[in-house]
A and B are shown apart, each in its own frame.
Chain A
Amino acid sequence: MSLAASADIEKKPWHRLDKLGVLVAIIGLAGLALPFALFRANRIVPGEGIGIVGSLDDGWSILLIAAIGAALATALVRFRPIVKLAAGFLALAVLAFAIGAAASHLTPADNNYARVAPGAGFWLLLLAFSLMVTDALTRLRLRPVWRVALLAIVLGAIGLILWSGLWSNLSLLKEYASRAPAFWQEARTHLVLAFGSVTIATLAGIPLGILCYRVKPLRAAVLNTLNIVQTIPSIALFGLLIAPLAWVAANIPGASNIGISGIGIAPALIALFAYSLLPIVSNTVVGLLGVNGQVVDAARGMGMTDRQRLLNIELPLALPVILTGIRIVLVQNIGLATIAALIGGGGFGVFVFQGIGQTAMDLVLLGAVPTVGLAFAAAVILDAIVEQISIKGRGA
């Protein structure tokens, strides 16, 4: 650092403050003030908020407050990103440990009805430190491979905590414990809905995109039609499909045997497929149109046939844009698949809607948390793939 710059900072101390760190600190302080855990006599009555001091043994609670305070202070000052990343992850680990300990501390012995859930304070602290970590990661500009590796480490750590039983007194895991077989059944359905619809949409969308690219008059018509589909509200689309599919199941021989019916997984898959087409088709068209004209001209001039040009030049160069379309759709469908439960399609949405019906927020979370985690992981992995491919074909 030059002398002039350091002198400048000495003159204006607030220059050493990290702007995002201020936000992190404000959210964190609010988190400290609000209840850390929520105690309920059973799973549906309103809870009673308990601060950090009440949630843990006195010694531990002082230690926790000190640790959070230190992490927030680190957020406020302009340290190097790697320092902030370490502090953020450390704080998240401490939080994960503390909420498990709080649940064990607050749950009365031999009481199967009492529930301890994370309180608003915990969620705000989680938000604050997640913000700190994501900001540090963005500034570090990690290579794609390292980002995926980091994701694997975080998922591994969460898996380890679950396996160790540290969180088993939390209400969310108590809901899970009484529904484990159903949970994994719905998880499978959710994955089939999200990945299945994206796979079918990719298999149909890329050829359709290529066709739109090659046949110009078709382009506007197809893209506009898909645009209209995209604007139909999702619940309405699920509902609209019930009648025609029920008719197909009833009137076309063999249709019901392969699983087609008015409600269930078939209309859910079709609706998710319909939503996926526009991003994939339009990104394919945009990606192909974006290939440098000179490169295409050179490929023709060298004597490549249309097919050779498409497979060797145009598609590989358009791939990052096409994959971005698939990424958008995959993350979108992992979320949208929750609504499939409304028409009997299954998936994590089953717990969400059951939870709403029973006013059992823990059950809602049992559906929502894995959905968010799945979407997040899919986004990180596909972003990394897109970036890796773009690095390889740079200069297009």
Chain B
Amino acid sequence: MIEIEDIVKSYNGTTVVDHISLTIPPRTMSVIVGTSGSGKTTLMRMINRLVEPTAGTIRIDGEDIRDVPAHELRRRIGYAIQGHGLFPHWTVAQNIATVPKLLGWEKSKIEARVDELLGLFQLDPAQFRNRMPHELSGGQQQRIGVARALAAGPNILLMDEPFGALDPLIRAKAQEDLLAIQRKLGTTIVLVTHDMEEAIHLGDRIAVMDKGKLLQYAEPAEIIVNPATPFVADLIGTSDRPFRLLSLTRVGDHVETGTATGSPIAADASLRDAYSDLLWSGRTAAPVTRDGQAIGIITLAACARMAARPQ
């Protein structure tokens, strides 16, 4: 658990982060959203003391972070940034081994961990271990960046616009991978982005910031339905609201009995994808499959019902 209490950061009289308090529950993904200059990155960087607060307290699992030397604190917290920041003169394996090596792990343990992480990110260890960063594609570099951040098995992972430099296709894949890894490892993730779509897709909770202030900190559905200020509503985009709401729900939760024709929709697809598919194919219902087994149908009416503002 990360408890941020009345935190302030100012540079030469300009307040960048203005009295923010929020609690990030363990094993969840919290996304901080805001425009550039909103103070979102500064807020995140105070958690691992890359920025020292002007006032206020941050506690991790009840312990004040000022009680630990900064470099030791940082070795316990994973850190991944936009454009990955891989060390260009080190191999993939050396990059991933950075924090374990700083912690003084044994060589054999480090090697095993490197291979395990490469496997976790679907990169063949034998093939990638000894490559240099410049020999990798953008998507691969990004995965190595996250693997490096997770190398020492931290409870907390901080990510600053981790997908900012990726093209849309690879970006979607990287987001799915991150969700899967978060579910598997149970890491508490704090992710900074300027993209509300990404925030809604990834976040268990979303913190919206503007001009150093925290405008709203809530679950995605709450933010879409009840934006706290006009600025939050603008970030979501009024015409996109129903679709954003649909994107939060899985098809599997709204299956009805019956039969339908045409290509099936997977149970773990979002209602938004199902709705789009139904509209495009001109059907009022489509069969739903889970692991190849037909489990019922999803109807256009069910999608429309879910897209409406909850009463």
A and B contact pairs by CB, cutoff 8 A, 12 listed:
A294-B82, A295-B87, A301-B48, A302-B99, A302-B148, A304-B98, A304-B102, A316-B89, A394-B132, A394-B134, A395-B132, A395-B133
Q: A294-B83, A297-B50, A302-B102 are contacts. A393–B89 as well, Cβ < 8 Å?
A: yes
Interface residues on B, range: 20 to 34
Q: A300-B50, A303-B99 are contacts. A394–B88 as well, Cβ < 8 Å?
A: yes
Q: A300-B74, A301-B79, A302-B98 are contacts. A392–B89 as well, Cβ < 8 Å?
A: yes
Q: Does A396 contact B (CB under 8 A)?
A: yes
Please report whether the interface of chain A is mostly helix, strand, loop or mixed according to DSSP.
Answer: helix
Q: Which residues of A296-315 are within 8 A (CB) of B?
A: 297-305, 308, 312-313
* Chain A residue nearest in CB terms to B103: A303
Picked from B89, B98, B133, B148, the residue with its CB within 8 Å of the CB of A317 is B89
Instruction: Kindly list chain A residues whose C-beta atoms are within 8 Å of the C-beta of B74.
Output: 300-303
Q: Quote the shortest CB–CB distance from A242 to chain B (angstroms).
A: 46
In the complex, A321→B132 CA distance in Å? Answer: 21
Picked from A308, A312, A395, the residue with its CB within 8 Å of the CB of B134 is A395
Q: A395-B132, A395-B134 are contacts. A303–B102 as well, Cβ < 8 Å?
A: yes
Q: A301-B79, A303-B71 are contacts. A295–B102 as well, Cβ < 8 Å?
A: no
A302 pairs with B79, CB closer than 8 A: yes
When each residue 32-74 of chain A gets 1 if its CB lies under 8 Å from chain B and 0 otherwise, what string results? 0000000000000000000000000000000000000000000
* Chain B residue nearest in CB terms to A300: B50
Instruction: Kindly list chain B residues whose C-beta atoms are within 8 Å of the C-beta of A304.
Output: 71, 98, 102
Q: Quote the shortest CB–CB distance from A80 to chain B (angstroms).
A: 31
Q: A317-B88, A395-B133 are contacts. A294–B50 as well, Cβ < 8 Å?
A: no
**Chain A contact residues, CB within 8 Å of chain B:** 292, 294-295, 297-305, 308, 312-313, 316-317, 392-396
Instruction: Kindly list chain A residues whose C-beta atoms are within 8 Å of the C-beta of B102.
Output: 302-304, 308
Q: Quote the shortest CB–CB distance from B190 to chain A (angstroms).
A: 13
Instruction: Kindly list chain A residues whose C-beta atoms are within 8 Å of the C-beta of B258.
Output: none
In the complex, A372→B206 CA distance in Å? Answer: 69
B75 pairs with A303, CB closer than 8 A: yes
Q: Does B37 contact A (CB under 8 A)?
A: no
Q: Quote the shortest CB–CB distance from B133 to chain A (angstroms).
A: 6
Q: Quote the shortest CB–CB distance from A295 to chain B (angstroms).
A: 5
Q: Does B196 contact A (CB under 8 A)?
A: no
Picked from A298, A303, A305, A392, the residue with its CB within 8 Å of the CB of B86 is A298
Q: Which residues of B20-63 are within 8 A (CB) of A?
A: 48, 50
Q: Does B186 contact A (CB under 8 A)?
A: no
B88 pairs with A298, CB closer than 8 A: no
In the complex, A312→B82 CA distance in Å? Answer: 22
Q: Quote the shortest CB–CB distance from B41 to chain A (angstroms).
A: 11
Instruction: Kindly list chain A residues whose C-beta atoms are within 8 Å of the C-beta of B237.
Output: none
A297 pairs with B75, CB closer than 8 A: no
In the complex, A297→B82 CA distance in Å? Answer: 11
Q: Does B6 contact A (CB under 8 A)?
A: no
In the complex, A237→B82 CA distance in Å? Answer: 51
7 closest cross-chain pairs (CB), A and B? A298-B85, A395-B134, A301-B79, A303-B75, A303-B74, A393-B89, A294-B85
In the complex, A301→B76 CA distance in Å? Answer: 10
Q: A302-B75, A304-B71, A308-B102 are contacts. A297–B85 as well, Cβ < 8 Å?
A: yes
In the complex, A242→B98 CA distance in Å? Answer: 53
In the complex, A27→B88 CA distance in Å? Answer: 47
Picked from A292, A298, A312, A313, the residue with its CB within 8 Å of the CB of B79 is A298
Task: List 15 additional contacts besides A297-B85, A305-B71, A394-B132; criterion CB under 8 Å.
Answer: A295-B85, A297-B81, A300-B50, A301-B50, A301-B81, A301-B158, A302-B148, A303-B71, A303-B74, A303-B99, A303-B102, A317-B88, A395-B132, A396-B88, A396-B89
Instruction: Kindly list chain A residues whose C-beta atoms are within 8 Å of the C-beta of B84.
Output: 294, 298
Instruction: Kindly list chain A residues whose C-beta atoms are within 8 Å of the C-beta of B71.
Output: 303-305
A393 pairs with B50, CB closer than 8 A: no
Q: Quote the shortest CB–CB distance from B76 to chain A (angstroms).
A: 8
* Chain B residue nearest in CB terms to A393: B89
Q: Quote the shortest CB–CB distance from B79 to chain A (angstroms).
A: 3
In the complex, A271→B222 CA distance in Å? Answer: 73
Instruction: Kindly list chain A residues whose C-beta atoms are within 8 Å of the C-beta of B82.
Output: 294
Q: Quote the shortest CB–CB distance from B267 to chain A (angstroms).
A: 39
In the complex, A305→B72 CA distance in Å? Answer: 9
Q: Which residues of B114-145 are within 8 A (CB) of A?
A: 132-134, 145
Q: A303-B99, A394-B134 are contacts. A298–B87 as well, Cβ < 8 Å?
A: yes
A295 pairs with B88, CB closer than 8 A: yes
B88 pairs with A393, CB closer than 8 A: yes
In the complex, A308→B99 CA distance in Å? Answer: 12
In the complex, A308→B81 CA distance in Å? Answer: 20
